[in-house]
Amino acid sequence: QVQLQESGPGLVKPSETLSLTCRVSGDSMRNYHWSWIRQPPGKGLEWIGYIGYTGIAAYKPSLKSRVTISIDSSNNQFSLKLSSVTAADTAVFYCARHHFWSGHHDYWGPGTLVTVSS
Amino acid sequence: QSVLTQPPSVSAAPGQKVTISCSGSSSNIGDNHVSWYQQFPGTVPKLLIYDNNKRPSGIPDRFSGSRSGTSATLDITGLQTGDEADYYCGAWDSSLREVLFGGGTKLTVL
């Protein structure tokens, strides 16, 4: 059974960089892409970006200048960095397994709430 | 405002059928597979439908999906109070080069 688990600070100050890690267990990271998705309180889902086993990443164009996703396949984990955060970046952040050709996300982490506040 | 357009809310009585629509364009729904997710308040989104009309193991056949042109629909038959949740459609957009989600539809079972 594939399991994903997000970890990282729950509080980030405005203008600083949000950093999260997702640990994957129960499967190899090969053959899939690995996404970060966020959901502001009371709002809908927003895809941030994904990364493949080879390290090639794709990002939501409107966030591209602030986002970096990296992968550490030897330790079965991938990470998100979102720079220059504001209160508008407050959200529950999910990591999820993405099927490249089909486009769906089948396994999700439980999510972690990150609040941007001074 | 989402590129994939869903009605904010739908409602129906227990036992009835409800249809949730997801309207897009030729670069997303018209060109790529659609998936659907169910999310109860405070919980993780759950994959209901992938590849337009396929159900993952464990998803009841009361849930079905279809795609026609640049629109997709999720049908739920035999509605139960336990189906009350938010439902999201999703698809890759070949022009925008990003994964899109609809704005979500809140299902109320009256």
Q: Do A103 and B35 touch (CB under 8 A)?
A: yes
pLDDT of residue B39: 98
Q: Of the candidates A58, A60, A104, which has its C-beta nearest B90's C-beta?
A: A104
Distance from the Cα of residue A116 to its chain's centroid: 16
In the three-class reduction of DSSP (H, G, I as helix; E, B as strand; rest coil), residue A63 is classed as: helix
| Tens-digit pLDDT profile for residues B18-55 | 999 999 999 999 999 999 999 999 999 999 999 999 99
| Tens-digit pLDDT profile for residues A17-34 | 999 999 999 988 998 999
| Tens-digit pLDDT profile for residues A35-47 | 999 999 999 999 9
In chain A, what residues touch B104 (CB-CB under 8 Å)?
44-45
Distance CA A86, CA A4 (A): 26
pLDDT of residue A31: 86
In the three-class reduction of DSSP (H, G, I as helix; E, B as strand; rest coil), residue A51 is classed as: strand
Q: Of the candidates B47, B100, B104, which has its C-beta nearest A104's C-beta?
A: B47
pLDDT of residue B97: 94
**E strands, B1-110, where?**
9-12, 18-23, 34-39, 46-49, 63-68, 71-76, 86-93, 98-101, 105-109
- Closest residue by Cα to residue B53 from B74, B22, B25: B74
Q: Do A103 and B101 touch (CB under 8 A)?
A: no
Give B17→chain A minimum CA distance, Å.
Answer: 24
Q: Do A105 and B90 touch (CB under 8 A)?
A: yes
